[in-house]
Chains A and B, each alone.
Chain A
Amino acid sequence: MDLALLTRRCEHEWEIPAHGAMRVPAVIFASEALVRQMDHKVYEQAVNVAMLPGIVTASFVMPDAHWGYGFPIGGVAAFDADGGGVVSAGGVGFDVSCGVRCLHTGFKSAALRAAQEELADVLYAQIPVGVGSTGGIHLGVSETDAMLTGGASWAVHNGWGEAEDLERIEERGQMSGADPHQVSARAKQRQQDEMGTLGSGNHYLEVQHVTGIFDGALARQFGLEMDDVVVMIHCGSRGLGHQIGTDFLKRMAIAAGAYGIALPDRELACAPIRSELGQSYLGAMRAAINCALANRQILTHLVRRAFAHVLPEAKLPLLYDVSHNTCKLEQHGGRSLYVHRKGATRAFGPGHPELPEALRAAGQPVLIGGSMGSGSYILAGTHSSQRQAFSSACHGAGRAMSRHQASRTWRGREVIEALAARGITVRSPSMRGVAEEAPEAYKDVAAVVDSAEAAGLARKVARVEPLICIKG
């Protein structure tokens, strides 16, 4: 991105002043080096989002932002229904409620190392992963609707997990306002055999250990110490969410003219919040959030079963579960706003009433997935994050190289061998998939989280590095 197009507010904050049809400015939170790495398309997309009706304060861009469709990935925008605000399917993305869940294990890495290969094999056998994989659960029509309404609560009620898990999930594991009747038959059909599946692409399940503590007090509140082994699960709402994105992108693109919305780009397809289509999308999208929460809950059950087989004394309570592709109605500055986060994590600060009591003093855990080799980060929401960008932070490393280029640059087998030499066990059904996800195809996640902290979006708590990676 050309820095000459931006006004520097401070070290890690840049403004694109409102011009042309922009209703508000765009604000980018990133270091100079990260801004320079961003594609010019991120600039264009941040500007386009600022043109949408009812947008409040600014079109925000997180440090890991890259070119998406409609909104940039790493984009945050809030809309006021009273001000003619809109809801956008492109502002949420196809993988509705894609997110990250972190589980404690109670082990140190030495105990895990002794069983590393066996655990990798059992996890790989237990977790359906990769293109075309199906889960062991087949959902009929009425059960699908119950899942879409109940989310992780539905899963726990059916025996996949414990009631105390729900405390440690955004929305307490059940998104309110979900309307299964707004979800198409096609979307439900795509999901009927996909519950408890990990997917492919950048989705993964990793066993990791803590290799750095940045804030001892926060780490203690999160229950983390050096060398603790944790499990991270990254996946979303699977075929159901993808189909909802597809369905509503088309409906919103066709209907925009009838709602008097002049779209700067068709991919910004949206509808007024207070319209039949807007409400229909919100009902369907919230159902997809419940699908993602239920899916990660079932995967948690499968992980616990695998651990019980190899390390019977293991207990795997949740640290937290966050979603990074959503639109949620939240209170900010005394106003009710519809906050779109596309590739951005909610980061409520200390004392927020949405947080479970055990975490309320610390602030919300913000789980940042990195690449297979570079590790991941656990951050905490801060008071300043509430002021900066509607309590939002980054979500991952962000790609530095296209899949196409990555698959021509590396071979999957070589990537696996290189990681094995570093003590990281990879299991995947697709060597090409592994090549496309090679660590070097991603930006430096450390630079992203450093910038997020410096910008006041979140505070660094701990760094974790993989021991086992199950990759789709």
Chain B
Amino acid sequence: MGGDPMASGKRMRAHWEHFAHQADMGVRGIGPSKAQAFEQAALAMTAIMTDPATVKPLEMIRIDCEAPDDELLLAEWLNSLVYEMSTRRMLFGRFTVELGPGALQGRAWGERIDPERHHPAVEVKGATYTSLRVAQEGGGWIAQTVVDV
């Protein structure tokens, strides 16, 4: 399962995929840069709930987070999105990420959940640290973890 809703890079195409976990779901973002891998990981998380292409970018919210290393920063980014989805009753289908030392500035575009159109399958409870990994690989970056559903 994967998608290519984002830009392509010189070295590799930014994309996302799910990976198997017996009870929950693995999300993996892959991109030419670490920031793009983070963006794609967020799309992979949305895809657990609905097809990201069905989410209209009607509203933008900003997300700032901090963590002592890249891996905890990825978990924090995804968990911040879970919080925003939960309290705003929204889904997001487009993301941008800027990374600084130990900090992330993100933007997420989306809309309120419409069960008739989005057919959301399952809510994400949170990003775990299982299979949590941010690494340079194959000329690009991967950012992955398992999310609890």
B-contacting residues of A (Cβ < 8 Å)?
Answer: 39, 41, 66-70, 73, 90, 93-95, 130-132, 134, 186, 189-190, 199-201, 239, 242-243, 245-246, 249-250, 253-254, 265-267, 269, 398-399, 402-405, 407-408, 429-433, 436, 472
Contacts and interface: CB of A to CB of B under 8 A. Distances in A.
A295 B125 CA distance: 17
A246 B126 contact: yes
B17 to A, nearest CB: 10
Contact of B132 (A73, A245, A266): A266
B62 interface: no
Given A69-B148, A94-B126, A246-B82, A132 B120 contact: yes
Interface size, B (range): 35 or more
Interface string B3-41: 000000000000000101111110000000000000000
Given A131-B49, A132-B123, A430-B121, 6 more contacts: A66-B22, A93-B148, A249-B128, A402-B20, A402-B25, A472-B123
A345 to B, nearest CB: 17
A199 B125 CA distance: 10
B73 to A, nearest CB: 11
25 contacts: A41-B22, A68-B23, A69-B128, A69-B129, A69-B146, A69-B148, A94-B148, A132-B113, A132-B120, A190-B86, A199-B123, A200-B122, A201-B123, A239-B86, A245-B126, A250-B72, A253-B129, A254-B72, A403-B24, A403-B48, A429-B115, A430-B119, A430-B122, A432-B121, A436-B122
Interface string B81-107: 011001101000000000000000000
Contact of B20 (A66, A93, A404): A404
A280 to B, nearest CB: 18
B132 A67 contact: no
A215 B36 CA distance: 59
Interface string B122-147: 11011111101000000000000010
B129 A403 contact: no
B70 interface: no
Contacts, number: 135
B126 A130 contact: no
A433 B122 contact: yes
B75 interface: yes
Given A131-B113, A189-B87, A429-B115, A201 B22 contact: no
A407 B121 CA distance: 10
Given A131-B122, A243-B83, A267-B128, A405 B76 contact: no
A201 B24 CA distance: 10
Contact of B23 (A66, A90, A245, A407): A66
B87 A190 contact: yes
A90 B79 CA distance: 15
Contacts of B121: 131, 200, 403, 407, 430, 432-433, 436
A250 B75 contact: yes
Contacts of B83: 186, 190, 243, 246
Contact of B149 (A132, A201, A269): A201
Closest 7 CB pairs of A and B: A131-B120, A132-B113, A432-B121, A69-B128, A267-B129, A69-B130, A242-B125
Interface of B: 1, 18, 20-25, 48-49, 67-68, 71-72, 75-76, 79, 82-83, 86-87, 89, 113, 115, 119-123, 125-130, 132, 146, 148-149
Contacts of B25: 402-404
Contacts of B128: 69-70, 90, 94, 249, 267
Given A69-B148, A131-B121, A200-B123, A246 B79 contact: yes
A398 B24 CA distance: 12
Contact of A130 (B24, B71, B120, B132): B120
Contacts of A70: 128-130
A312 B1 CA distance: 49
A429 B122 CA distance: 10
A448 to B, nearest CB: 14
Nearest to B19: A404
Nearest to A244: B126
B66 to A, nearest CB: 11
Contacts of A245: 125-126, 148
A39 B86 CA distance: 32
A404 B119 contact: no
Nearest to A246: B126
A414 to B, nearest CB: 16
A131 B21 contact: no
A90 B146 CA distance: 13
Contacts of B122: 131, 200-201, 403, 430, 433, 436, 472
A93 to B, nearest CB: 8
